[in-house]
Structure formats: C-alpha cells, structure tokens
C-alpha cells in the first residue's frame, strides 16, 4: 500500500468541458483532462505520486484526508 492510497480520486465526464476530468481534492485543486478515462486515471495517479515526492522532499507530512465520499441512495 502506498501512503497516498488513503486519498479519494475521481474521474468523471464533464458535459461542460466535453472530456473526462480526474481530481484528488485533498491534495490539489484543478485536475487532469482527457478523452480516455483510463488514461486520465493513470495521469491522475502520476500527479498524486509527484505531490507525494515534492512533499516528502520538503520534509513535510502528507495532509490528513478530509474528503469523504457520499453514497446516494435511491
């Protein structure tokens, strides 16, 4: 298990942008964009790994995860 596995990741279609967007709200704002959801997920993980590397190089700890997904019941 990687230290960043505790963070939630989302990849979803954006009607407005007409592409898939991936993001990890506990680590950074903005997101990864693309036409292929699998590729967006890969690039999102690369971005998360880079955040982990940068934070570690600065001698800081990763922030505690705060995002909690909700499950909508129908």
Q: What is the pTM of this model?
A: 0.83
Beta strands in the chain (DSSP E): 10-14, 19-23, 32-34
| Nearest-angstrom CA–CA distance, 43 and 32 | 7
Does the domain at 6-57 match CATH 3.30.1300? Answer given as no
For residue 51 the two structure tokens come to 């955040």
Q: Is 34 helix (H, G, I), strand (E, B) or coil?
A: strand
Each residue of 13-71: pLDDT tens digit? 999 999 999 999 999 877 899 999 999 999 999 999 999 999 999 999 999 999 877 76
Distances (CA, A) of 60 to 14, 57, 66, 68, 69: 34, 8, 18, 23, 26
């Amino acid at each position: 298990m990687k230290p960043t596995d505790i963070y939630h990741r989302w990849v979803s279609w954006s009607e407005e942008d007409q592409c898939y967007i991936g993001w990890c709200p506990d680590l950074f704002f903005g997101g990864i964009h693309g036409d292929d959801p699998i590729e967006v997920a890969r690039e999102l993980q690369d971005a998360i790994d880079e955040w982990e590397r940068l934070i570690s190089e600065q001698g800081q700890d990763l922030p505690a995860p705060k995002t909690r997904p909700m499950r909508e019941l129908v």
